[in-house]
Amino acid sequence: MISPLPHIDAMAPYALATIGDGHMVSMAQNESAFPPSPYAIAAGQSQLSAATAYPDPDWTALRLAIAETHDVTPETILCGTGSMELIGCLIHAFAGPGRDVLGTEYGYAFVATATAQAQAKYLCAREVDLTVNIDRVLDQVTNTTRIVFICNPGNPTGTMIANSEILRLRDALPEDTLLVVDQAYGEFGDGDQDPRQIFALADRGNTVILRTFSKAYALAGLRAGWGVFPPAIGAQLRKLLNPNNISVVTQAMAAAAIRDQSHLQKIVADTATIRDRFAANCRELGLFVPVSKTNFILIRFASAAAAQHADSHLRTAGFQMRGMGGYGLDDCLRATICADEIMDSCFTVLKEACR
């Protein structure tokens, strides 16, 4: 028998949403309700015949597009096959035995998985009212905490904390503790607070900010994420990234997508309108829905049994939401916002299930 490393053997496989048979409406993975920019599609098609060559290992055109959009220096940007690759490499570079990772109660599940891969200990700070609480995070920091992960806006809660709270956390953390701000849903909250305040934290040398093309840019299938990294941290990460990570087609599509900010703004605005109406309808049914700044909402039912009842009702009708048992929220379902008509028919089924 070939024996695996004990810490790998002890890991459970990462639990993605159970995908239906293709006839279900997918509301389980926070994919976009809307198609990507037509310029992205055109850019991808025009690059298909360039696939003979390896991709640009420095993502030059993509970095420039990101840098110009967000007013950051291109050299500080690194790109990954989804932000998952960047999260995994950060943990492998800076955490390990005796070097702990601290997340929050409802933080992104993949962080705990990557921590286990690195044989590091994962700890989490309680949240308050389904919202990250900086005082509780600070309470959990010890002298073995090496990385703190804050997801803002949060997944699966959808809630967002003020930039000033992130700044307060950074000021209070030890200088040699790496802070990672995961803004996978950042574009949905950018209208509320100035994102440059957070990107500027990379200048301090100990903070990384992550974003992705998977959510608001509607390109989850491409696998492209990016982040702003202090140079010394970026240099370490480069050693762990696959040197040819992002395909020729993906780089071209992502660059075209981020240059089309008017398309992005329309997706963000339309998603918010549909989301807020669906959330208001759910609240009228007596369900608890925290205020979301993302493309999904968390729906809390009266009990785990009520959530399960609604879930099976919804599945029978072809709507696949995400059960939240893995997050200790077994009385909740998370619903990705889809097109208007879908949300309307979904709500009809939900209403029926809640009677």
Ligand X SMILES: *Cc1c(COP(=O)(O)O)cnc(C)c1O
For binding to ligand X (CB under 6 A), which residues are involved?
Answer: 30, 82-84, 108, 151, 155, 182, 184, 212, 214-215, 220, 225
Distances (CA, A) of 193 to 127, 130, 189: 21, 20, 7
For ligand X, which is the closer residue by CB, 257 or 353?
257
Residue nearest to ligand X (CB): 82
Report the largest interatomic distance among the alpha carbons of the chain, rounded to a whole angstrom. 59
Least distance CB 80 / ligand X (angstroms): 7
CA proximity to 238, closest of 35, 93, 91, 62: 93
For ligand X, which is the closer residue by CB, 220 or 272?
220
Least distance CB 225 / ligand X (angstroms): 4
Least distance CB 16 / ligand X (angstroms): 11
For ligand X, which is the closer residue by CB, 170 or 215?
215
Least distance CB 30 / ligand X (angstroms): 6
For ligand X, which is the closer residue by CB, 138 or 220?
220
- Amino acid identity at 66: I
Q: Hey, is 213 helix, strand or coil?
A: coil
For residue 29, with 0-12 CB atoms within 10 Å meaning exposed, 13-18 middle and 19 or more buried, which class applies?
A: middle
Q: How far apart are CA 125 and CA 133, in angstroms?
A: 8
For ligand X, which is the closer residue by CB, 25 or 184?
184
Q: Which residues partner with 122 through β-bridges?
A: 101
Least distance CB 238 / ligand X (angstroms): 18
Question: 167 with 202: CB under 8 angstroms?
Answer: no
